[in-house]
Amino acid sequence: MTNATNSILIRNVRILDPSQGIDRAGDLLLRDGKVSRVGEPVRDGNLPPQCAIVDGAGLVVCPGFIDLHVHLREPGYEDHETIATGLDAAARGGFTTVCAMPNTRPAMDNASVVDYVLRRAREANGVRVLPIGCVTKERAGQQLAEMWELAQAGAIAFSDDGSPVANPNLMRQALAYARGLGLPIINHCEDPVLSKGAPMHEGRVSNLLGLAGWPAVAEETMVARDIDLAALTRGRLHLAHISTAGAVELVRRAKERGLPVTAEATPHHLTLSDQWVCGHGSEGPLSGPLTLAAYDSSAKVNPPLRTARDAEALLAGLRDGVIDAIATDHAPHPVTTKKVSFDEAAFGIPGLETAFGALMLLVHRGELPLPTLVQRMTQGPLALLGERGVGLGSLREGSIADVTLFNPGLEWTVRGADFASKGKQTPLEGVTLKGRVVATIAGGRVVHSQISGLASSDNP
């Protein structure tokens, strides 16, 4: 599954590297797992032996994408996903680094589980895994996990994702303790009392469908609380998958105050709305009278898809830097937990393989500059990773050869059955996207390729 040579030359390609302010045509040479040369043409006489040469005409090369929020499910939920299948999905999506959430079974609340995840990742395809440890033991929200032990084992942050830290005093303690470790707390911002029993956003669509609604305030009250606790403790706070206009404004104000707060948004919250629960066609969500396509459980996600106004506010926050990073919240489930009634269906969307294509819709509509999109998927995540991100997210000479190569004009139709992920239920089923990753190189190794001359065994 890896390239047979130690060197790769990508010729006549558009090089897009926000870390250096580079957006130009040129050559990119990778050698022995590092970036060797960027920009100027490389003559044949200066090539290393057995160098693989790629014609990059019409393509764009950028640093490998970094995903701060992925559910690999293993250990414990291997029927949903394994580390191997999840990393294959990541490679197809252009991701060379993914951060693994701790809602496994057993939960990632001790060093042995972190060690297991890292070992299984090393056995996979070369995509880098950075584990996120639990905030509380068993993610139960009662007692802090052994955070020092988790940090020593390699955890890059702490989160009970999917289970918000509801107790404010416990959250205060977690932020203060994590500050001493130099690591952030990532919270899933949801007031479980306000959202109890609600499978989708509260609004016109939930009323139309007769489903209980989850109000935006259930997210915003928790965001406001956590920002105040970050101000009190000066602990680093990262807000996972914010989804409402109110949450964007709260983060904006926190950054204006100089607080140590960062935030992420997902491709589905940026590009979809609650209208998609009514079903969709190849052009987008259905409107008008309900059809048999309604109650589409593939569009059930936590936090829920919000309104078009919320998506517009998220996009504005992404453009101006209030939202630091795009993260997929890749959450695969077996078909048996999704092809049921909407109330009973599991929350989650498998996002690794569709993230870039979905976001390119915004680029082609002129709503998001391509350099901004690449920045939020490469440099932006480094605000969370800190020292753990050194050498990542850049094509600077001497940096790690994590590279994503994409065709911005390539049209393709989403088919969940073709995913490498075990999660096949996607709200984008049958939708035609424009823009696709054609090769992913992690540490100089080709982990995905649709290009002749780059050896890879996972072509769809």
Catalytic residues: 329
- Helix ranges restricted to H, 93-138: 111-122
Tell me whether strands 445-449 and 325-326 are parallel, antiparallel or unpaired.
Answer: unpaired
- Residues 297 and 217: their CA atoms lie apart, in Å, by 23
CB-based burial label for 194 (10 Å; 0-12, 13-18, 19+)? middle
How far out from the chain centre does Cα 254 lie? 23
Q: What is the DSSP letter of 387?
A: G
Residues 6 or more apart whose Cβ sits within 8 Å of residue 32? 6, 7, 444
Segment holding 15, helix H or strand E:
strand 7-17
Phi, psi at residue 22, to the nearest 5°? -95, 130
C-alpha torsion angle, residues 104, 352, 319, 434 (rounded to 10):
-170
Residues in the chain: 460
Instruction: Determine how β-strand 34-39 pairs with β-strand 261-265.
Output: unpaired
Q: Which run of H or E residues covers position 205?
A: helix 204-209
96, 66 in Cβ contact below 8 A?
Answer: yes
**What DSSP string runs through 322-386?**
SS-EE---B----GGGTSS-TTTSPP-B--TTTHHHHHHHHHHTTSS-HHHHHHHHHTTTHHHHG
Q: What is the 3 state secondary structure string of 235-284?
A: CCEEECCCCCHHHHHHHHHHHHCCCCEEEEECHHHHHCCHHHHHCEECCE
Cβ atoms of 194 and 221 within 8 Å: the answer is yes
Among 297, 314, 304, 308, CA closest to 216: 304
- What is the Cα–Cα distance from 323 to 306, expressed in whole angstroms? 17
The CA-CA-CA angle for residues 159, 348, 443, to 5°, reads 65
Q: Taking the C-alpha atoms of 261, 267, 268 and 270 in order, what is their torsion angle to the nearest 10 degrees?
A: 70
